[in-house]
Amino acid sequence: MTRRTSNLRPGALALALVIAVVLWALAHGASSIERAYDVPIELLEMSQDLVVTDQTPRDINVRIMGSQAALRNVDPDQLRYAIDVSGSKPGDADFEVDVSNIKLPRGARIVSRSPSRIFIHFEPRGRKAVGIRVDTTGELPEGYVLERVEVQPSHVWLTGARGHVLRLREVVTEPVDLTGLNAREERQVSVLLGAGTVRLEEEEPIKVVLHIAPEPHEELDAAPPAGGTRARQLEES
């Protein structure tokens, strides 16, 4: 065995090693495997007169089968599941999941998906102008008072699900800290709307002007009553 191996030239050994590595790589890359991905749902052609107030689920889970080489070319950030919702009306709607429109690299295919249907609730869109209330926190230094607060602009336009928008009478700003303030102060603040279906129609800066002044004090020496000085002069005379 040693004599047979010694008769082989180094070049032939290197070539045999390269061929073995290539065959291993081809066999390894050709073997099929599966991976699971969460694919976000996109709503296409949605009417501007509607708002989605509930959607179950927000994404679908798919299992993709293919070679390792094919699955290496699957970019999870590029996966999208699109639903055409043109023609939808206010109320509940459900859509069957058809994964054939998910684009995949060659050699990869979807073998399962969950769920099989998507449920969406649509509501009419509404808009309304509401006032702005400034929320404050902290305490002014002793001897100072907050005389008044100006807000520019005085109101904002809201848009979203009509039922939610019409119930709102005002919006509240993020808290403004009064600690240590002893003079007129200007701040730019944001409006807090939470994670609901209502949003600002236009994202415009909101300026808050705080008018702070020393606390007024009462005079210690009371003024003499009217005619008091004249009366004393008459008594002395």
19 to each of 4, 16, 29, how far by Cα in Å? Answer: 20, 5, 15
Structure-token pair, residue 88: 């939808």
Q: Pinpoint the alpha helices (H) of the chain.
A: 2-7, 10-30, 68-72, 162-167, 228-236
- Cα separation, 121 vs 107, in Å, equals 37
Alpha-carbon gap, residue 231 to 236, rounded angstroms: 9
**pLDDT the model gives residue 30:** 55
Q: What is the reported pLDDT for 194?
A: 80
> Partners of 43 in the beta sheet?
83
Provide the pLDDT for residue 12.
66
The pLDDT, as a whole number, for residue 27 is 53
What pLDDT is attached to residue 196?
83
Cβ atoms within 10 A of the Cβ of 210, count?
20
Other CB atoms within 10 Å distance of the CB of residue 120:
21
The pTM assigned to this predicted structure is 0.66
pLDDT < 50 positions in the chain: 220, 229-237
CA–CA separation, 212 and 182 (whole Å): 6
Predicted confidence (pLDDT) per residue in 135-166, tens digit:
999 999 999 999 999 999 999 999 999 999 99
Q: Alpha-carbon distance 142 to 72, whole Å?
A: 66
State the pLDDT at residue 237: 44
List domains and CATH numbers for the chain: 31-124 (2.170.120.30), 125-214 (2.170.120.40)
